[in-house]
Amino acid sequence: MPGAPGPVAAPAPGEPDIRVGLAVGASTGTLGGGSGLIVTDPGGAYLARIAAGEVWRLAITGTGLAVVSPAGGRSTPTTQLGVISTDSGAPILFNGRSYRGVMTVLRDRTGMTVVNRLPLEAYLLGVVSAEMGRRSPADFEALRAQAVVSRTYALRNLHRWDADGFDLYSSVADQVYGGLGSETPEGLEAVTATGGEVLTWNGAPIDAFFYSTCGGRTANGTEVFRGADRPYLRSIADVAEDGTAYCSISPRFRWREEWSGEMLRATLHRTLPEVEGTSPGAVRTVRDVRITGITGSGRVGQLTITLDRSSVDVDGPLVRQVLRSPAGDPLRSSTFTLTAAGAGHRITRLVAEGAGAGHGVGFCQWGAVGRSRAGQDYRRILAAYYPGTVLDRRY
């Protein structure tokens, strides 16, 4: 059973709370297993008490919600549940994972939405190491940089998903948040050392895009996000003085994917209708797959797929969703070359050899690790990936 959370400073004046969507459209879930919990209705009226160590089930009841005890008893149905710990500062367990703060469970269109609300700095404790993993002291400046990036991202995107009842998803749809179980001593150090610091442009938090591995050069913002025409989101060569890419230490620095002819046809039969609206019946024969456009940073800007009786042009931002790996995952990056056997007649084998992982705009996480190991502090790292921005303390 997870232990009690480590000590965290009280929220600073001006520090906002953040609402994190842990689950959306879920059919069920569990609460409890740690400290005691109190469950309330939208007005704060008592509905149920979950004793320490007990695990109760969240259930959908028509248009409402209820909590169900191990013995089968259930609370009065309501459209919203509030969940707090009976022990001040003790975590709440949802689906066996520990979270700081409080919970709200909302009845949504297809099931239930579970929201964790907590102070921003406490949220960052569950983000930094979830995004960066466990790190040695040589990597601490990269963790500090990630803390500033994640804080900036959160402030910039407060209320992003208001219509769904929260600010940010807990997944890569925004940034990965693992709650108490993702916290580490080095993550705590990074968040504490940079407390309240954000990156700004003209006084406002920036669009702090980040990803795993750039492959040696970052992308211009508009290569991936049409609305990201920002002076600080421009392509840079992310290399040391000797020409070595800072992110060359990444396990995703270089990669290779291969499709048989039938595997490629099956992949495109699924993805082209989903992404491009192509008729499934048109994807019977794949005659060719060619790169027909390259962006300023060397990424694939357009992919042309020749089928039996038609061709489909796929724009760069959609390439990774269309040319998925044989395992069904989005292609690691849009920096790749292609070799096609049987091109012009019927492709029998397609090989992609690529560099990096992620969209490539802004902060390269593995590049930051390489820069930290090279002796750069977090301020210099951030200035490299977001040139011209200002590091500002907001609270």
The model's pLDDT over 307-346, given as tens digits with 9 standing for 90+, comes to 998 999 999 999 999 999 999 999 999 999 999 999 999 9
Cβ-based neighbours of 115, under 8 Å, separated by 6 or more: 19, 20, 21, 22, 103, 104, 105, 106, 165, 166
Distances in Å between the Cα of 374 and the Cα atoms of 18, 132, 243, 245 are 34, 18, 13, 12
Q: Give the containing element (helix H, strand E) for 320.
A: helix 316-322
The model's pLDDT over 275-300, given as tens digits with 9 standing for 90+, comes to 999 999 999 999 999 999 999 999 99
pTM for this prediction: 0.93
User: What is residue 8's predicted lDDT score, i.e. its pLDDT?
Assistant: 74
Low-confidence spans in the chain with pLDDT less than 50? 1-4
Cβ-based neighbours of 300, under 8 Å, separated by 6 or more: 291, 293, 294, 316, 319, 334, 335, 336
Is-contact 290 338, C-beta < 8 A?
yes
User: What is residue 88's predicted lDDT score, i.e. its pLDDT?
Assistant: 85
Relative orientation angle of helices 185-193 and 120-132, to the nearest 10 degrees: 130
User: What is residue 7's predicted lDDT score, i.e. its pLDDT?
Assistant: 64
